Structure 1
Amino acid sequence: MSTVNTAPIKWAQRSDSLYITIALPDVKEESINLQNTTLTFKGKSDSKEYALDIEFFKPVDAQGSTYKVLPRSVQMHVMKKKGDDDEEEEFWPRLLKDKALEKNQVKIDWDRYVDEDEEEEGFDTSNLDGGMGMGGMADMMGGMGGMGGMGGMGGMDMDALMKQMGSMGGGMGGAGMGMDGEDDEDSDDSDDDDLPELEES
């Protein structure tokens, strides 16, 4: 009987939602069950078996939540449940109901972390949209870009921008050369201006 390892998880939050990452690459045979108060996960990564069984600090909206298995992790965008008496959503002090489990199992996702008073917008969930290819690409770029809240696509845009700048820079360089050349042309022009006078004499 093979040993079942505890799947490592990272999380970040906004006032209305949680972003949970199960940090396992190439997950296969996954079984993910998100309920309003719990999340269970089973899957294989690197031929080892992993499992997770957690109870959230407060209820979530399982219906409105999404997840995607990406090449380097399983990522979940979990919506917090809005209570009838809650006029506005709030930041949780932790992810799990059980404080001791939180210390052992959960890490903060510093790439997506914001302070409550610095919250400006929700998570970049572009890597949860569309096909697997795009999702995986965004996930990779997000990791490489390390741009935190900017998320995956930010990394790609930055790359494209740099390329564009590079080609513009080349063009600018060319223009610069032209400018230098124009000094010579100016002297040529002045020679041309002299030509009619030469013909007259």
Structure 2
Amino acid sequence: MTELIFATNNAHKLEEVQAIIGDKFAIKSLADIGCEDDIPETGETFQENARQKTDYLFAKYKLDCFGDDSGLEIDALNGEPGVYSARYSGSRDMEKNIDLVLERLEGKTHRAARFKTVISLFLNGKQHYFEGAIEGRIIAERRGGKGFGYDPIFIPEGYQQTFAEMSAEEKNTISHRAIAVQKLADFLVSG
């Protein structure tokens, strides 16, 4: 079985990705290879941040790997939080990040938003990119106890539930990460 290193220690992301890719590839986390480094994310786009992760891992460990960067873009906030989604409030506390989004959207009726993911894959000496996005809207209060990040305030287009109210299986069929990971999986299987 082919092993790929996923530039994350986020257990939720790891589970989502392994569920989509299935058993054709063994996905290992940074912890699995003993990497405790704080990999830089200083890019101005999701693609730049994703590539920084794969460049860093390959330079240090010489292993095939992939990394992603994801975020929430809200039209009424000029695309914020964007690449700063994980630390929008100045910290990685998602409750504070959600509070800040809701505060900045207060009184706004146009609440269109999208989640985006870009995956950078470094495989056999070549760089590849896979993107996924899902349109939706931001609601005024948190709903649901599943998922992570901004899931409790995001309702995907065509649905009545937030990501945090959906089962992992349902979310994994429609999410931005699922779309990008499916493209990655299709590429890996066809390769």
Could you say which TM-score interval applies, normalised by the shorter chain? under 0.3
Q: Which of 1 and 2 has greater Rg?
A: 1
